[in-house]
Amino acid sequence: MADIYNGYINQQGLVKMVGFDGKYNPIAKTKDLIDKYERAQEIRERQQFVSRYKYKNTPKGIDTEILERILYYRGRVCLFKIDDTYYALPFALKGTIDVYGRYRAIVPLTFQGSVMVGKDGKEYMGDGTFLSDLTLKVLYDTDQIDGTQDCVIMDDYTNGISQYILPRYTVNEIYRKGLAEINILIRHNLISSARVYTIRVLDQGQKDAVLEEIGDMEESILESGKRVFPITSSIKLEEVLNDKKLETQDYWECYVSLDNLRENMMGIENNGIFKKKERQLKGEMELEASSADLVYQDGLTQRKKALERFNALFHTNWQVEESEVISGYDKNMDEEISNYPQKEEQDG
């Protein structure tokens, strides 16, 4: 609170308290809100990520939504088969790498789940297979199938170092954080630009009475965005605080621009780096669209290459293609553009 001496408000302290000295950082004061905004951004991004591609003829045991979630949080996934059931799980190196840095053999890991513990104290998968003793040899070339390979690896995008890939969740974290901070700035600007009301009271007793009367009203105005200040000083508060310019539109343009850049990083076409298209030349818009297309096609290529090896290894017909929402084309002619097929067919 501002200091009060003999009924007069310390104006310097008041200005600093309400954040009009140019040094107030609304982002640093709202860590809890930033966390909430970031969680909301993560959920939204994950929904976008898992909806970019559509799978057909998925083998029994594999949930393509879980597969895409693993790619989002881990960057890569191993696809293998035990008895009649297929699996898509994260993995770790088991053994050595080849001259290109690729894993020769791997061991699958659980994805935020659990395994059964046997009487021997060892961990098993639901079908009784000993998980940590499971060594899978990786297939990288369909021409080299010799009966010894057990799995294939699917990457989310073309990685730089064969044995390591940065998950999209981590790559886009800086953009999600930036969007959350802009949300805070928008909120703070709206509160700061609101009209400030003062109530003239005669003494401390009346001030306490007014505060008790309208206290709940203050709490209801955007939580901490107080707009009623009873004071006992002879100085009017309006003389201390100047109206703050409403800059919400500028913040929203920054938000949309950053969000478009984030989507571009995942290969999703958007409205361009700037919100107002009239600010861009036709060539600039086409260049941004082509950039998103290249990112998207790279992800599609990685998935198709993995499924090509998977089909050759396990004699299946698993396929992946563009999402109808991404392409804007009703490929299955069901008069509806949707992310997923109405009923996904599965191989036995």
pLDDT in tens, 292-343: 788 899 999 999 999 999 999 999 999 999 887 766 555 555 556 555 544 4
Write down the architecture of domain 51-172+290-347 according to CATH: Beta Barrel (2.40)
Which residue's entry shows tokens 């818009």? 285
User: What is the residue-averaged pLDDT of the chain?
Assistant: 75
CA distances from 38 to 200, 225, 292, 336, 341 (A): 41, 21, 23, 32, 30
Is the model more confident about 127 or about 65? Answer: 65
Q: Measure the CA–CA gap between 14 and 112, rounded to whole angstroms.
A: 50
Q: Is the pLDDT of residue 67 over 80?
A: yes
CA atoms within 13 A on the CB side of 326: 25
Which residues, including other chains, have CB under 8 Å from residue 270's CB and lie 6 or more apart? Answer: 259, 260, 263, 264, 288, 292
For the residues of 148-190, what is the DSSP string, one character each? Answer: ---EEEEESS--SBTTB---HHHHTHHHHHHHHHHHHHHHHHH
Contact by Cβ (8 Å): 100, 74: no
Domain-wise residue ranges, the chain? 4-43+173-265, 51-172+290-347
> In terms of C-beta distances under 8 Å and separation of at least 24 residues, what long-range contacts does 317-320 make, across chains too?
317/57, 317/347, 318/55, 318/56, 318/57, 318/58, 318/59, 318/347, 319/55, 319/56, 319/57, 320/53, 320/54, 320/55, 320/56
Instruction: Give first-to-last CA distance, the chain, whole Å.
Output: 70
Tokens of 336: 């509806």
Q: Is the pLDDT of residue 136 over 80?
A: yes
Is the model more confident about 32 or about 232? Answer: 32
Residues in the chain: 348
Q: What is the mean pLDDT of residues 67-77?
A: 95
pLDDT at 6: 41
